[in-house]
Structure 1
Amino acid sequence: MSQPYILVLFYSRSGATAQMAKHIARGVELTGLEARLRTVPPVSADHEATGPSIPEHGAPYATIDDLKNCAGLAMGSPTRYGNMAAPLKYFLDGTSSLWLSGALVGKPASVFTSTASLHGGQETTLLSMMMPLLHHGMLISGIPYSESALLETRGGGTPYGASHHAGADSKRALDEHEIALCRALGQRLGSIAQKLDAPRG
């Protein structure tokens, strides 16, 4: 049997969400679990995949089996009008077989996002990503205020999940608080997955 892993699934256009995914993965790995980074291809307005069949660099494309077999999920997207980006939604729309089989029921999940403006829909985007996960029966985990960076941040960071203020040119690097919250989210998710998987006596 394969070792349990947390799937860190994301779509990134300018690279900020991908950077967040890497910090979340590091947090997961602090718990001793594998973090499996996966992305999704871009799609056109008529819902056709427009990217290469294999990404030229970075994380591989996710498969349904990556999602089916994970012990937990961290899912991230840049905001698009206060909602998740279409490529990620397109991938989720293809998971009805997992919904029918209940493959994700009872598994922990967290969400993360990056926006160009500080008030550009971070929280609504996080909530939009939670909805399909709730339909799958996943257990949503956010970030508690016991994480001091959540009280100190002047950039991103919400109790609903990790977030990042990338700036209008999408070039603002993650600050120390945003990085700390990404790692805390990954570590929390990994720890919850381990507790849920522990034998009960």
Structure 2
Amino acid sequence: MTQSPYVLVLFYSRHGSVSEMAKHIARGINKVNGMEAMIRQVPDVSDTTKMASPALPENGSPYCTLEELAGCSGLAIGSPSYFGSMAAPLKHFIDQTSTLWMTGQLIDKPACGFTSASTMHGGQEQCIHSMMTPLLHHGMLWLGLPYKNKELISTQSGGTPYGASHLANSTYEISLTSDEKVLCEAQGKRLAETALKLKK
């Protein structure tokens, strides 16, 4: 059976807010006929960079494989912002993608980023930049969030033109504001629409 075209929503989430964002991005993707969302996470790594999680996650989305990344029509990539950069587990996964780079399997596919931090100036935009850089090396096409999404102007929480973001009131706060939800869905929808156009 042939796999339907899909947009991969790939993320690492420690306390749940990035996982929650991934669900809303997937909702936006699934609004586009002819494209579906595939949600995947990456496992934790230990301080010696060995996988520190079980082979299968105890809850949430399955772990991503390189085959699932290679087969996607588009990619939404998400991470908490750690000092203005993506989390180590996500970077560790990306560092394993050299074979995809050498064979050009992600070239000309659209991508976007999303992030969460617990302070207003927690490096959200820089974190998105850190996820964008390796994907540009892969030849992917980066999509931000245009200001036609009026929530970018009205938001008192997360949201950037570089990609969707969430401002958590505390480390363990995972509920998104209505503006953040709308922006996540808008980003997913735009990504799926672009992926569909590029497949034609």
TM-score (norm 1): 0.97
Paired with 1:171 and 1:157, the residues of 2 have a C-alpha distance of: 17
Give 1:166 deviation, angstroms. 1.1
CA shift digits 1:110-167 (9 cap, x unpaired):
0000001111000000000000000000000010000011111000000000000012
Residue aligning to 1:104: 106
Residue aligning to 2:118: 116
Paired with 1:126 and 1:103, the residues of 2 have a C-alpha distance of: 22
Q: Partner of 2:81: helix, strand, or coil? A: strand
Moved over 4 A (4+): none
Correspondent of 2:39 among 33, 37, 40: 37
Paired with 1:142 and 1:180, the residues of 2 have a C-alpha distance of: 14
Structure 1 residues 1-201: aligned runs within 5 Å: 1-32=2-33, 33-171=35-173, 173-198=175-200
Q: Which runs of 5+ in 2 are unaligned?
A: none
State the AA in 2 paired with 1:34.
E
Give 1:173 deviation, angstroms. 1.5
The number of aligned residues is 198
Question: Are 1:39 and 1:59, in contact at CA under 8 Å, matched by a contact in 2?
Answer: yes
Give 1:52 deviation, angstroms. 1.2
Give 1:169 deviation, angstroms. 3.1
Paired with 2:172 and 2:58, the residues of 1 have a C-alpha distance of: 21
Question: Are 1:6 and 1:70, in contact at CA under 8 Å, matched by a contact in 2?
Answer: yes
State the AA in 2 paired with 1:92.
I
Paired with 1:169 and 1:122, the residues of 2 have a C-alpha distance of: 14
CA RMSD in angstroms comes to 0.8
CA shift digits 1:31-59 (9 cap, x unpaired):
02110000000001110111111001110
Give 1:26 deviation, angstroms. 0.2
Give 1:172 deviation, angstroms. 5.1
Q: Which runs of 5+ in 1 are unaligned?
A: none
Give 1:4 deviation, angstroms. 0.5
Paired with 1:168 and 1:176, the residues of 2 have a C-alpha distance of: 18
